[in-house]
Amino acid sequence: MKALFVAGTGTDLGKTHVACALLEAARARGMRVDAFKPVVSGFDPEAPDQSDPARLARALGRPEAWREVSPRRYRAPLAPNIAARLEGDTLKMDDLVSDCRDWLSRRDVDLALIEGAGGVMSPMTDTATNLDLMSALGLPVLLVAGSYLGTASHLLTALEVVRARNLVVAAVVVSESLDAPGLDQSMALLRAFEHRAPLLSAPRASCWTASALVDALV
């Protein structure tokens, strides 16, 4: 089984957009896939179909499975630890790591994705970040960046801290940011600085498929 951690250089950059496209492209090749987002905030239980867990579930071909995709769901669109506290809950890194390991141990698929919340250094608990979860799991990282002005600094910083934890960056995907410099321009800039991992682009166009990403990763 190929397992990856999908991380972002920041929040709302397109991690789920990329993860869904990767799952769909892998399924189109006959691969068995699954996805897990251990905690999600900004979840509206009155409109679950609009949530990241629901999007991932649809990409799996199991739209009813969003509860399984994200077992820890909180309403407030805030950092998970704060959103959890508002509902009387306390997130602990040991629990999140245990959730992910247990989920992985029960998968019998060709490709399994675990998607983080927010950016690499976004808080997950009161004392730990996404990077701490990534480090504990030790999975290869699919790092998603935007194409906005300033993305080079954010991406290169994320690459430094991820690799400083001895994590392998399996690929970098630049997800097209709206109202930003051209995607091709951003790609050319980033290719001048990143030479170790495959660097691919993810246009927002509905016709985009992640076939090249499957080739690079699986």
Instruction: Determine whether 92 is an active site residue.
Output: no
Mark residue 210 as left, alpha or beta (left: phi above 0; alpha: psi -120 to 50; beta: remaining): alpha
200, containing H or E segment: strand 199-202
Q: Which of 2, 15, 37, 92 is flagged as catalytic? A: 37
**CB distance 44 to 154 below 8 Å:** no
Mark residue 62 as left, alpha or beta (left: phi above 0; alpha: psi -120 to 50; beta: remaining): beta
Please provide residue 4's backbone torsions phi and psi, each rounded to the nearest 5 degrees: -135, 150
| DSSP category for residue 166 | T
Token pair, residue 84, equals: 């959890």
Under 8 Å CB-to-CB from 120, ≥6 apart: which residues? Answer: 7, 8, 9, 129, 130, 131, 134, 143, 158, 161, 162
Token pair, residue 116, equals: 């983080």
Active site residues: 37
